[in-house]
Amino acid sequence: MTPFGAKLRALRAERGISQKQMAAALGVSAAYLSALEHGRRGVPGWPMVQKIIGYFNVIWDDAEELEKLAWESHPRIVVDTAGLSPEATRLANLLADRIGSLDKATIDSLIEIIRSAGPSVSE
C-alpha span between 69 and 72 (Å, rounded): 5
**Same domain assignment for residues 13 and 49:** yes
**83/67 same-domain check:** no
Query: Could you list the residue range(s) of the whole structural domain that residue 12 is in?
Result: 3-71
Q: Is the domain of 102 the same as that of 85?
A: yes
Are 31 and 66 in a shared domain? yes
For the segment 63-87, what is each residue's pLDDT rounded down to a tens digit? 999 999 998 888 788 899 999 999 9
pLDDT for res 122: 57
> What pLDDT, on a 0 to 100 scale, did the predictor assign at position 82?
95
Q: Are residues 67 and 92 in the same domain?
A: no
Q: Evaluate if pTM is beyond 0.75.
A: no
Same domain, residue pair 21 and 65? yes
Q: Say what the pLDDT of residue 123 is.
A: 52
Question: Of 69, 70, 15, 21, whose CA–CA distance to 48 is shortest?
Answer: 70
